[in-house]
A and B are shown apart, each in its own frame.
Chain A
Amino acid sequence: MSQDDVAEIAKWKTAYGALRTEMRKAIVGQDHVIEQMTVAMLARGHALLEGVPGVAKTLMVLALSKAMHLSFNRIQFTPDLMPSDITGTDVLQEDPVTHVPSYKFVPGPIFANIVLADEINRTPPKTQAAMLEAMQEHMVSAGGENYALPNPFFVLATENPLGREGTYPLPEAQRDRFLLHINVEYPSGSEEWEIAEKVTGGELGMKALDSIVPVLQPDDLLKAQELVLRVPVSDQVVGYAMSLVRASRPGADAWSHHKAGSDAPDSITRWINWGAGPRGVLTLISCAKARALIHGRYHASMEDVNWVIGPSLRHRIGPNYAALASGITSEEIIDMLLEQVPADKEYSVPTA
Chain B
Amino acid sequence: MVDENKTVEANDTAAVGKWPEYYKNLMAEVSKVIVGQEDVIEQMVVAMLGRGHALLEGVPGVAKTLMVHSLAQAMNLTFHRIQFTPDLMPSDITGTDVLQKDPVTQELGYKFLKGPIFANIVLADEINRTPPKTQASMLEAMEERKVSAGGETYPLPDPFFVLATQNPLEQEGTYPLPQVQLDRFLLYIKVDYPSLREEWDIVRDVSTGSIGERALNAIKPVLQADDMLEAQKLVTRMPASEQLIGYAWSLSRASRPAGPKDAAAPKSLEEITKWINWGAGPRGVLALINCSKARALIHGRYEATVEDINWIVDSCLRHRISPNYSGITSGITSEDIIKMLQKEIPSDQKFARPTA
Q: Scoring B residues 241 to 279 as 1 if CB is less than 8 Å from chain A, else 0, what string do you get?
A: 000011011000100100011101000000000000110
In the docked arrangement, what's the CA distance between A52 and B284, Å?
Answer: 12
Of the stretches A128-136, A192-200, A248-256, A270-278, the one at the interface is: A192-200
Minimum CB–CB distance from A198 to chain B (whole Å) comes to 10
Question: Which residues from B are CB-within-8-Å of A144?
Answer: none
List CB contacts (< 8 Å) of A112-170 with chain B.
119, 122, 160, 162-163, 166
Residue of B nearest to A109 (CB): B148
Q: Is the CB of B253 within 8 A of A201?
A: no
In the docked arrangement, what's the CA distance between A329 and B261, Å?
Answer: 11
Q: Is B157 an interface residue (CB 8 A)?
A: no
Which of B246, B282, B322 is A186 in contact with, Cβ under 8 Å?
Answer: B282
Count of chain A residues near B, Cβ 8 A: 37
Q: Is the CB of A163 within 8 A of B285?
A: no
Q: Is B6 an interface residue (CB 8 A)?
A: no
Q: Is the CB of B249 within 8 A of A193?
A: yes
Question: Which residues from B are CB-within-8-Å of A186?
Answer: 256, 262, 264, 281-282
Q: Is the CB of B278 within 8 A of A196?
A: no
Minimum CB–CB distance from B234 to chain A (whole Å) comes to 11
Interface majority SS on A: helix, strand, loop or mixed?
loop
Residue of B nearest to A78 (CB): B132
Decide yes or no: A201 and B237 within 8 Å by CB, A78-B133, A195-B282 being known contacts. yes
Q: Is A56 an interface residue (CB 8 A)?
A: yes
List CB contacts (< 8 Å) of B313-356 with chain A.
322, 353-356
List CB contacts (< 8 Å) of B159-180 with chain A.
178-180
List CB contacts (< 8 Å) of B8-66 with chain A.
none
In the docked arrangement, what's the CA distance between A232 and B6, Å?
Answer: 59
Q: Is B108 an interface residue (CB 8 A)?
A: yes
Question: Which residues from A are CB-within-8-Å of B236?
Answer: 200-202
Which of A78, A80, A94, A192 is B282 in contact with, Cβ under 8 Å?
Answer: A192
List CB contacts (< 8 Å) of B121-145 with chain A.
131-133, 135-136, 139-140
In the docked arrangement, what's the CA distance between A162 and B353, Å?
Answer: 30
Q: Is the CB of B289 within 8 A of A196?
A: yes
In the docked arrangement, what's the CA distance between A85 and B289, Å?
Answer: 38
Q: Is A190 an interface residue (CB 8 A)?
A: yes
Question: Which residues from B are CB-within-8-Å of A189?
Answer: 249, 253, 264, 354, 356
In the docked arrangement, what's the CA distance between A163 and B353, Å?
Answer: 33
In the docked arrangement, what's the CA distance between A162 and B181, Å?
Answer: 11
Q: Is A53 an interface residue (CB 8 A)?
A: yes
Q: Is the CB of B353 within 8 A of A190?
A: yes
Question: Which residues from B are CB-within-8-Å of A187?
Answer: 282
Q: Is A261 an interface residue (CB 8 A)?
A: no
Question: Which residues from B are CB-within-8-Å of A215?
Answer: none
Question: Which residues from B are CB-within-8-Å of A326?
Answer: none
Q: Is the CB of A195 within 8 A of B262?
A: no
Q: Is A54 an interface residue (CB 8 A)?
A: yes
Question: Which residues from A are CB-within-8-Å of B249?
Answer: 189, 192-193, 196
Question: Which residues from A are CB-within-8-Å of B253?
Answer: 189, 192
Question: Which residues from A are CB-within-8-Å of B201?
Answer: none
In the docked arrangement, what's the CA distance between A96 and B109, Å?
Answer: 8
Q: Is the CB of B281 within 8 A of A55?
A: yes
Q: Is the CB of B356 within 8 A of A329?
A: no
Give the interface of B toward A (CB within 8 A).
107-109, 131-133, 135-136, 139-140, 178-180, 183, 236-237, 239-240, 245-246, 248-249, 253, 256, 260-262, 264, 277-278, 281-286, 289-290, 293, 322, 353-356
List 8 extra interface pairs beyond A122-B178, A187-B282, A331-B261, CB under 8 A: A78-B131, A78-B136, A80-B132, A162-B277, A189-B356, A192-B249, A193-B246, A196-B245
Give the interface of A toward B (CB within 8 A).
52-56, 74, 76, 78-81, 85, 94, 96, 119, 122, 160, 162-163, 166, 185-190, 192-193, 195-197, 199-202, 329, 331
27 CB contacts below 8 A, A to B, read A52-B281, A53-B281, A56-B282, A76-B139, A76-B140, A78-B131, A78-B136, A81-B133, A85-B133, A96-B107, A119-B178, A119-B180, A162-B278, A162-B322, A163-B179, A185-B261, A186-B262, A186-B264, A189-B356, A192-B253, A195-B286, A196-B240, A196-B285, A199-B286, A200-B289, A202-B236, A329-B260
